[in-house]
Structure 1
Amino acid sequence: MSDAIKHECGIALIRLLKPLSYYQEKYGTPFYGINKLYLLMEKQHNRGQDGAGIATIKFDVKPGNRYISRYRAMGSTAVADIFEYVQKKFASVQKAFPEESKDTQWLKDNVSFTGEVLLGHLRYGTHGKNSIESCHPFLRQNNWMSRNLVVAGNFNMTNVDELLQQLYELGQHPKEKADTVTVLEKIGHFLDDENQDLFDQFKKEGHSNIEISSLIAKNIDVTKILKRSAKTWDGGYTIAGIFGHGDAFVMRDPAGIRPAFYYQDEEILVVASERPVIQTAFNIPIGAVKEIKPGHALIAKKDGTVSQEMFRQPVEQRSCSFERIYFSRGSDADIYQERKELGRLLVPQVLESVKNNIKNTVFSFIPNTAEVSYYGLMDGINTYVRDFQKDTLLNRSEKISDEELDEILSIKPRFEKLNVKDAKLRTFITQDADRTDMVQHVYDTTYGIVKDHEDTIVAI
């Protein structure tokens, strides 16, 4: 990618594959889906401290009733704020209607955020405006159910100008110059096209308008829409979307730059940016979580059919190194080993830079996300010291004195915690002009460990 890092966000999508009554009977709550969405988002809090949002869509709602619910919030407590808002809604309904609220159909008819498809997003705003309008999910509304579109994603389009020009040539007038707008409008445009094509087809066959709405929802070709939408996209992206009638999708760029994982059983389909959060939220082994293939979209039709379809020819995989080294959760099995290996690979260069002077070198790490790589560095340094001691002792021709033996065996790397993070301050990557001054105060130094003008600090 030729552009600077702009978006490193997190997504979570849940598709309930059973009626709400099933979860009420099995788990004792009709709010199983929203509770799991909260867990998925809170566990991905590392992916977004600037804002968050959720949206849900209900199936088979009678005309005149809302079926799309959305709520967004700003700030580092956005996830908690959103679900507090939702929980208060649920609590007030249960208090006012104690008997009715035991009926899952009544809840679905009368309470928001009780849909079968749920989408969550965490925003890490390193570019553009930090405002509520910048928080996903984005909503494209229409009076025809199957033309409604909800979109959220972790993406960075590198050819925004080109994509905007294509929208202009279609006669559209986007309200701002941003990749979020181009993605929403691109998918929305081809969703409209698909709707119109199907409407014309079924009208010719003599169906009534009411019948046609239902037929369109059943026959929409999601893969076709995504193929046409993403034809000229350039960049890294994982984009999740829901059509108003209930079809849902998560699409991943052809180079696999952005991550996307999913799990499916007979009860649920879940997609997230991080593998370990799915494992934790659903208490499942690593092998049960699959990766969405690059250039493919995981599509869940309203009838419950789930498939993975190719929308762009995959190319050589180029996973974002920033995601894997810094941004992703270190509890992922592969991420953990990669970060340890990173530390081990740095050992020769580190030893060369300190002229192999272990005695006067203090090793540490900063920030906390560097800790796993630090363990790899420790392993490598310890191996070097052990090999040095072994070679020194085995290759000496003359007898070694007790003092010399003690000196060789006393060589021990100095691994210390030199920085302590103040929990009240966070090191966001931000656009604020005063970031440099603020970052100086986020960490406190541990005093009395490093000897001035004598020791060298190596911090990973």
Structure 2
Amino acid sequence: MSDEIKHECGLAFIRLRKPFSYYLQKYGTVMYGLNKLYLLMEKQHNRGQDGAGIAAVKLNVEPGHPFLFRTRSNAQQPIADIFFKLGQEIQELEKYQPDIKQHPGLMKGHVPALGELLLGHLRYGTQGKNNVEFCHPFIKRNLIPGRNLALAGNFNLVNTEELFALINVDPGEFQRQSDLAAMMEVVHHFLSKEEEKSPNAADIATVLKKATPLFDGGYTIGGLIGNGNGFVMRDAHGIRPAYYYIDDEVIVAASERASIRTSFNVGENEVLELMPGNALIVDNDGNYKVEQILEPKERRACSFERIYFSRGSDEKIYRERIALGHHLSKAVLEAVEYDLKNTIFSYIPNTAEVAFFGLIKGMEEYLNKRKIERILSWGNDFTPEKLEEMINRKIRQEKIAIKDVKLRTFITEDSGRNEMVQHVYDITYGTVRKDLDTLVVIDDSIVRGTTLKESIVRMLARLHPKRIIVLSSAPQIRYPDCYGIDMSKLGDFIAFRAAIELLKERDMEETLNCVYEKIKELQRNNQLHTENVVRQIYKPFTTEEISAKIAQLITPKEVMLPVEVIYQTIEDLHDSCPTNTGDWYFTGNYPTPGGNRVVNKAFINYYEGKNVRGY
């Protein structure tokens, strides 16, 4: 993706079902669980690089001894930082007892993180706060084991103020800024209530059935209870992903299927999807159940998971990204007037590569069909040379753009930053015939368009192609997200800015005033959640008109050659990714009432010139 956006988070949950001595005997290490937690987190490191944290609960600990451990890091490489420090602790123990790793009981007693229940989390700072205090898991401590709670998740909530009010909590400044703090207070409130009825034996399903209906947002959450219970739960729309694997040694859950498959070397069908509204619940004896907590609603799993966020090593995601690129091939052929001889195809590294393969597949299918037609039309009128020339025709592919990962825009002044942005990407010279070749490049999605304008289009223009066509494997991003992606300000979206420019050009600026007044009326009547009024901004224009305006906006003034932008259609998106139909950032069709409230607030902020989040 050319425009970096903060997104998602990653979750890892492990429950060991055997004594530590079992893993020592079978796998040669008492650290089996922590090693697997490290793998699960590293295999999802794409989901969060602002911070990480782990929590552990030990079973059957003598009263007075610690049983809940938590550590977090916001270092540059937070996962490595956490596990390096754990390794240092063990090395210190080995100084006094060199063979301590061969004694499971001693290891459990002296290594705080060595628990039977493990919870790991990777974080992107969607609230813009990267302090270590904001890293998950959060914990609540209590002298009664069953009232201790560690909680982490992949989510955003849009009703945190209401949650605090519902349980009569006056949040401090820190809590007010964290939706996990609100979720923690609610879950712990109902956990404590159940604990009063059944000390150290609260029914986790009951707790979740009381707490989670209050949450407005998309979420996958994982929790550890001090008495040895644990759970992972997914929201009723299935907005955020969750998968699990169970055998007689471990119970595992994570945000991505491929991370479990790789870490435990198991087949695709052995890793199951945790269905919307369901919870995987584990008791302190290692027994488990998958129970429906919330009535499942219309499945609205986030489509960005398939387009960009999840790692493409999952075979289904890989095929879906191939399909996204393939679907664009027809529009591209029409745009280049079927002139493949004078067209070069490339991609914006690195995550658009798989969609690029799908695009090329579509081009090759067309070219092969044309080859057959031409050869058949010759009859017997051909020579070996003529036939060889036709058969050897290929789609022209080049790696035009190269991402220089060493460059970071560390300069804060605008002029200096813009200069640095121009050089985040480099080009391969000598690949394009000057003023003759059309250059087609594919990107995952176009959010702000800043990098396209300041770096990529300017850079591609140095090759002097006849024209540049930029493809997006995602549709136009028109609306904020509030379920885990840091896209909350309308003015950031190139599609929104394009619509505003079109309104101005056509003397339709009164539309902005009408939308603002309608939203303010809804706000006065406490009805912001009932309707997405911002749709009216786009209503006067076709998708093609907005795309054409976007092409103008991403073209630097000094670039004189034609630039065109082609987006994926909503229909082709759903055809490519049939199980992940969440598309509110494209269509404005939010799965929960909080989404409408967020988009309307975002417009108020834009109209009033406030550069703040919509939630």
TM-score calculated relative to the size of structure 2: 0.67
Q: Structure 1 residues 395, 426: closer, same or farther in 2, change over 3 A?
A: farther
Report the Cα distance in structure 2 between the residues aligned to 1:260 and 1:21, rounded to whole angstroms: 30
Structure 1 residue 111: Cα displacement: 2.1
Structure 1 residue 71: Cα displacement: 1.3
Structure 1 residue 408: Cα displacement: 4.9
Partner residue of 1:266 out of 216, 227, 248 = 248
Structure 1 residue 404: Cα displacement: 7.2
Give the corresponding residue for 1:374: 356
Report the Cα distance in structure 2 between the residues aligned to 1:77 and 1:37, rounded to whole angstroms: 16
Give the corresponding residue for 2:129: 129
1:210-249 mapped onto 2 (5 Å cutoff): 216-217=199-200, 219-249=201-231
Give the corresponding residue for 1:173: 171
Q: Structure 1 residues 40, 161: closer, same or farther in 2, change over 3 A?
A: same
Q: Structure 1 residues 402, 107: closer, same or farther in 2, change over 3 A?
A: closer
Report the Cα distance in structure 1 between the residues aligned to 2:409 and 2:288, rounded to whole angstroms: 40
Contact 1:138 1:151 in 2 (8 A): yes
Report the Cα distance in structure 2 between the residues aligned to 1:453 and 1:100, rounded to whole angstroms: 71
Q: Secondary structure at the match of 2:176?
A: coil
1:34-433 mapped onto 2 (5 Å cutoff): 34-167=34-167, 170-174=168-172, 175-198=175-198, 216-217=199-200, 219-395=201-377, 408-409=390-391, 411-425=393-407
Report the Cα distance in structure 1 between the residues aligned to 2:105 and 2:379, rounded to whole angstroms: 87
Give the corresponding residue for 1:443: 425
Q: Structure 1 residues 397, 160: closer, same or farther in 2, change over 3 A?
A: farther
Q: Give ranges in structure 2 of 5+ residues lacking alignment.
A: 443-615
Structure 1 residue 173: Cα displacement: 2.8
Give the counterpart letter for 1:458 in structure 2.
Answer: V
Contact 2:161 2:176 in 1 (8 A): no
Give the counterpart letter for 1:340 in structure 2.
Answer: I
- Matched-pair identity in %: 49
Structure 1 residue 406: Cα displacement: 6.9
Q: What is the RMSD of the two structures over their aligned residues, measured on CA atoms?
A: 2.5
Structure 1 residue 87: Cα displacement: 0.8
Contact 1:358 1:411 in 2 (8 A): no
In the alignment of these two chains, the number of paired residues is 434
TM-score calculated relative to the size of structure 1: 0.88
Q: Structure 1 residues 436, 266: closer, same or farther in 2, change over 3 A?
A: farther
Structure 1 residue 402: Cα displacement: 8.3
Report the Cα distance in structure 1 between the residues aligned to 2:121 and 2:8, rounded to whole angstroms: 11
Contact 1:23 1:29 in 2 (8 A): yes
Contact 1:346 1:377 in 2 (8 A): yes
Q: Structure 1 residues 190, 382: closer, same or farther in 2, change over 3 A?
A: same
Structure 1 residue 178: Cα displacement: 2.6
Contact 1:164 1:177 in 2 (8 A): no
Report the Cα distance in structure 1 between the residues aligned to 2:279 and 2:420, rounded to whole angstroms: 41
Report the Cα distance in structure 2 between the residues aligned to 1:295 and 1:87, rounded to whole angstroms: 38
Give the counterpart letter for 2:242 in structure 1.
Answer: A
Deviations 1:213-242 (A, max 9, x none): xxx22x311011111111122221110011
Contact 1:49 1:75 in 2 (8 A): no
Deviations 1:20-45 (A, max 9, x none): 11111211211111111111111111
Report the Cα distance in structure 2 between the residues aligned to 1:36 and 1:309, rounded to whole angstroms: 26
Deviations 1:85-108 (A, max 9, x none): 001111211221235553211222
Contact 2:14 2:119 in 1 (8 A): yes
Structure 1 residue 422: Cα displacement: 2.3
Contact 1:194 1:220 in 2 (8 A): yes
Structure 1 residue 367: Cα displacement: 2.4
